[in-house]
Structures are given as C-alpha cells and as structure tokens.
Amino acid sequence: MAASAYLDHNATSPLRPAAFESMVEVLRAGGNPSSVHAAGRKARAVVEAARRQVASLVGALPTEIVFTSGGTEANSLALSGAGRRRVLVSAVEHDSVLRAVPGAEIVGVDGNGVVDLVALEQALASSGDEPVLVSVMLANNETGVLQPIAEAVRLARGAGALVHCDAVQAAGKVPVDVHGLGVDYLSLSAHKIGGPTGVGALMVRNGAPFATDRRGGGQESNRRAGTENVAGIAGFGAAAQEAGKQAAEGLDLAGWRDRIELSLVQIAPQARIFGACAKRITNTSCIAMPGVPAETQVMALDLAGVYISAGAACSSGKVQRSAVLAAMGVPAEEAATAVRISLGWNTELADIERLITAWRDLYIRVTQSDISQAEAA
C-alpha cells in the first residue's frame, strides 16, 4: 500500500508526468513568445499548441481561449469584461465569482444544491431592458453537483442575457462542449486537471462583448496583457490533452465514489451525503460524519495518511462554515461535520480502502469515547 492516499483532487490534482515533462522542456529552452527571433517563435509555437489542446478539451475554437493566471482571474475577467450589466449568480458559486461582483443578485438553490430555474426566470423577467449577465457553475467544487446549464442558457437567451459558466471543476471530468452549452464565457484552471498551479483560461465566445482593464503589451490578442507563462501554459496543454484522452477512454470514478459512500454509510448509518439525489461529477463526495467536527476528521485522516478536505481549499488553510451547504439549507451543526473526498487521475483502489479503514477507525474511537463518557456520568 502506498505511504499515503491523496483524495483532495478538487483542491489540486497532482501534476501529470506529461505536464511536468512539457514544462521542463520549455524552461530549458526559454524564449519570450512576443519576440520575433527563433527562440521567441519557438515559445509562441508552444503557446499556440497548448491553446489548441485546451480549446479541444471544451469544444472551443483556439481563437476563443485567453490564458490567465488561474480560474479566479478567468472568473474575474468574465464578470468584468462583459461590461456594465446587472449580474445574477447562483448561491453556490465559488468565492471568486461571488466576490468579483459584491452587488450581484443571488439566485437560490434547492436542497440538493441545484439552481432554482423558476427563481432565475423571475429574476430575468424583472430586468426589463437592462442588460444582464448570468453566472452559473457547471459542477460545484464542494458537492460535485452538476447544474442545468443548458436550461439556464435557454432562459437567459430568452431575456437577451449573456451567460458565464465556471467549469473549473467539471472540465476533464464530464464532457464539456462550450458551443453545445451555448455559454458566452467559460472558466478553466490547469491545476484541477493535473496541470500546474498559476495558469488557467477563459473561453470568450467569438463575437461576445469583452473589454479588459489589463493594459500592457497587448498579449492574448489584447485581451490579457502580460508576458505569457509559457511553461505553465505548456503544462496546461499537456494536462488538457491527457484529461481528454481519459475521458474518451471512459475514465469513470463513479464506482469507487459509490463504494466509498456505501461503506461510510454502513459504518455510520446517520452519515449524510450532500447532493446525493442530484446529478454529480463522478469523483466527488461531500459527506457528514455525525457528531464529529470536520477539522477532527481532516486531522485524524491526515495522521492516517489520507488527505481530504473540509470544503473549499481557498481560505488560507482555514476551516470555515460552508456557504454552499448553508445555501442548501443544511443546519450549521451538521454542515460543521461535512468533509469533501475527491478522486482523480492517479487514484487507486488501495487509496479507497485506506480511506474507508481510517474513517471507520476514527468513527469507532469517537463513538466508544462517547459511550464511555456517558457511562461515567
């Protein structure tokens, strides 16, 4: 059995060997892709090859891909670049969406975390002639719940609204076709699919309005100034290509995810799986261990060599109440016991078994301690 089981791919998926090799080759070669000499032209060729690879992963045209520093910047660029508009966002969006437009109007979700399409339709109807941008993620980072993007786009189009989709957690896990979805903007992040941190992309549909305040040398066709992170982009492209191959070969982690959930519920019958009645990406499970704080679970499993998380990993290592679970109507005391398990490209059966064993051992220790304390009282 491996020394540890890494089951936190929704935070960061380990770097794929192909991505590492691509990055090393670029770092050795050097070159600025804006330079006209041979080294610069070679760097430009690397960037454009990666652009095609990333575009292919989501069914976009290469000209529609703008490289960024990550998913957060991609979200910010989309929400600001669409121009002055009334912004509608779902209540379970990532903080990088919710905080990008502090005055955005929130559209609620049901108990499974699925956006309320009736509420969205009503919000759109109340806009009159005011220009609107709707932002709804494709897959939730905490629960894995998939959103009805096609239906949301249909409603938005009927009201003349633009649509942004944060697909950071969905790309490489479910088929993504930007033109099939009909969205105007779509955000991606390399390190969620086995690429490096610090690089992402925004798909801007050809013809969609887009203005940027990133002034500088005119890189990325004047859509995002600053010298491109050539090595990071190369790694992103390689990871996108590998993720696309695995998707085409039918990589499906649902069996292992279901095995985890079935085993944990058998161990603790009162355990609750959030979003279980909705469509989800196959690699993610958000589950509450009754009576055991999430921090305790994360630390105990860490000591057992199993790496999971307590919700989103974007708060400087702090464990905070999940806004996603709150929006789903989960009581605070129950949400405080929820952890996220997320599988990925290098997950093995031994990792699943190690998790189940560690979770069982912790639950037994806690319940036996509670019994002993009750008897002593």
Catalytic residue set: 314
3-state helix, strand, coil in the chain (%, to 5): 45, 15, 40
Output Rg (C-alpha) for the chain, integer angstroms.
Answer: 22
Structure tokens at 136: 């709804």
Q: How many CB atoms lie within 10 A of CB 245?
A: 11
Asked if 138 and 167 touch (Cβ cutoff 8 Å), the reply is yes
Query: If we measure between CA atoms, which residue out of 106, 136, 132 comes closest to residue 119?
Result: 106
CA distance 309 to 301: 10
CA distance 46 to 234: 6
Three-class SS of residue 248?
helix
> Which residue(s) pair with 284 in the sheet?
342
Three-class SS of residue 115?
strand
**HSE value, Cβ hemisphere, 13 Å, CA-based, for 127:** 25
Looking only at the bridges linking them, the beta strands covering 5-6 and 306-307 are parallel
Length of the chain: 377
